[in-house]
Amino acid sequence: MLLSGINLVMYFVAWRERSLAALWRNTEVRAFYVVLLASIALITGYLMTHGTYPSFDQAFRQTAFHVVSIATTTGYANHDYAQWPLFAPLLMILLGCFATCAGSTGGGIKMVRLLLLLKQARRELVRIVHPNVVNPVVLGGQAVGDRVMQGVIAFMMIYGATLVGLTMTLVFSGLEIVTAFTAVIACVNNIGPGLGDVGPAVNYGSLSDFQTWVCTLAMLLGRLELLSLLVLFTPAFWRK
């Protein structure tokens, strides 16, 4: 799961250079592994603090498997992690939104978009202090054009609006908020299990027909890329 969570092209680069150092030089791959290791350490410590497992070995093993599984949107579970203190499974669900790299088998918005957003936020903070400074967004040693940044920001705005809109639709249909929110995140990012009534120990069979169609739409939006699918509903696309 860890191997499939990074850009598969990077393996060709590593093979061509005959060195795994090529993987670590990539900013997105490095961020991917750092985020996963930090999350595993944090959740392991959190579970030990709350006495969820009697030994460190068991807590670490369960945490490592489930963090990697959910973050890479693989969706496997060998334990009902929904019974853990809420912070732990909620953090894993949120990791599934962005942790995997572009060009990998994972879903979500991809780590590179999150990195660009963070760099753009830092750029704007610098501009507030130094309005005339030339401070381009740089990723992997190369400046990122404003057109690319505009596309990333537009994607993230639509992504956020989609999560909120579909969650409110499920809540309107009578689903409780934890189930509705995590079901939408799980479906849009193609994670698989959510929390509540769609947790790892159950399935989506308890949802009504309307709620199932909402989740179906969420999966299509997430797997076909939001902009590519939503552009079909714009009048400009159908004009000759």
- Residue extents of the structural domains in the chain: 3-95
Q: Is the pLDDT of residue 238 over 80?
A: no
The C-alpha atoms of residue 238 and residue 233 are separated, in whole angstroms, by 9
Largest CA distance in the chain: 66
Tokens representing 28 are 């997105």
Per-residue model confidence (pLDDT) at position 131: 83
H helices present in 72-130, as ranges: 87-95, 111-129
What residues does 108 pair with on adjacent strands?
A: none
Note whether 227 and 154 are within 8 A (CB): yes
Q: Is residue 195 a contact partner of residue 89, using CB atoms and an 8 Å limit?
A: yes
Task: Kindly report the pTM of this predicted structure.
Answer: 0.87
Q: 141 vs 56, which has greater pLDDT?
A: 56
**3-class SS letters over 25-69:** HCHHHHHHHHHHHHHHHHHHHHHHHCCCCCCHHHHHHHHHHHHHH
Averaged pLDDT, 205-217: 94
Q: Of 41, 38, 109, give the one whose Cα is nearest residue 73.
A: 109
pLDDT at 165: 95
More confident residue, 232 or 201: 201
Evaluate if residue 231 carries a pLDDT over 80. no
* Residue-wise pLDDT tens digits, 70-118: 999 998 998 899 999 999 999 999 999 999 998 888 888 899 999 999 9
The overall average pLDDT reported for the chain is 90
* Residue that the structure tokens 């995590």 belong to: 182
- 31 contacts: CB under 8 Å, gap ≥ 6: 111, 115
**Tokens 């991917």, residue located:** 32
> Which tens digit of pLDDT belongs to each residue from 124-170?
888 888 888 888 888 888 888 888 888 888 889 989 999 999 999 99
Rounded to whole angstroms, the Cα distance separating 55 from 48 reads 8
Q: What pLDDT is attached to residue 240?
A: 62
Please count the helices (runs of H) and the strands (runs of E) in the chain: 11, 2
**Six token digits for residue 145:** 């054009």
209: Cα within 13 Å, side-chain hemisphere: 0
Res 123: pLDDT: 87
Look up residue 45 and give its two tokens: 């410590």
pLDDT at 148: 87
